[in-house]
Amino acid sequence: MRSASHGTNGGGSRVLPGVSRRTVLRIVLALAAVTVAAVAFANWAIRRRADGLVFEDALAVPARTWAIVPGAMVHDDGSLSEALEDRVDAARELYALGLVRHIYVSGDGGSNDEDGTMARWLVAHGVPASAIVRDGVRYLTRTTMEDAARAGIRDAIVCTQDFHLARSLAWARHEGIDAVGVVADNRWHDHQAKARLREAVARTVAFVELL
């Protein structure tokens, strides 16, 4: 008796009725290419919004009323992560140079008390407590800028790492804040490669939300 062939023909094995594996592979590759292109375009568009607004040198930054410092990790022992220390140090320098009059620190005010830890670090390094405003309920870049605008901040210098500045400025300006950014990269952090990859995804999400 002749056995019937199952799932094969000249076009390759089939994974669905009438659809070969080769066709499925082509579809998957096409979808992957579209996804990569969409992420690349979204990242380009967000970075484009920051053109001319990012400064490497604090002395080159135009003066603003406020510095905004987005939160980052605080260790269980209460010490700042290297990334967060670089951010608050950039704000401290701006204040010392007279380029800002107030510093807005934003972070999760829960168990690790990000904003409180940031404020205490600044006071310990010469910034008067009266110049610091804490926002201890936010840990997203978008909500940080929403709250800053709601608090009456109309112009600011955002202090964060280079890879995070474009999205931070996009959200700040979306909220009506005349914002520029200063790069807070005093050192290379062990987690930066992972953070940059995560930021690429975050920029894509921001691009869609900002639309």
- pLDDT at residue 62 tops 90: yes
Q: How many Å apart are CA 110 and CA 115, to the nearest integer?
A: 9
CB of 142 within 8 A of CB of 171? yes
Q: How many Å apart are CA 193 and CA 178, to the nearest integer?
A: 30
Distances (CA, A) of 176 to 53, 64, 92, 115, 130: 15, 14, 24, 23, 25
Say how far residue 202 (Cα) sits from the centre of its chain.
7
Reported confidence tier of residue 70, pLDDT bands at 50, 70, 90: very high
CB of 91 within 8 A of CB of 103? yes
Q: Compute the residue count for the chain.
A: 211
Nearest one of 137, 135, 132 to 121, comparing CA atoms: 132
Which pLDDT value is given to residue 8?
Answer: 47
Question: Chain-wide mean pLDDT for the chain?
Answer: 86
Which tens digit of pLDDT belongs to each residue from 73-113?
888 888 999 999 999 999 999 999 999 999 999 987 666 78
Tell me if residue 14 falls in helix, strand or coil: strand
Which tens digit of pLDDT belongs to each residue from 165-206?
999 999 999 999 999 999 998 776 666 677 778 888 888 888
Which tens digit of pLDDT belongs to each residue from 23-39?
878 888 888 888 888 88
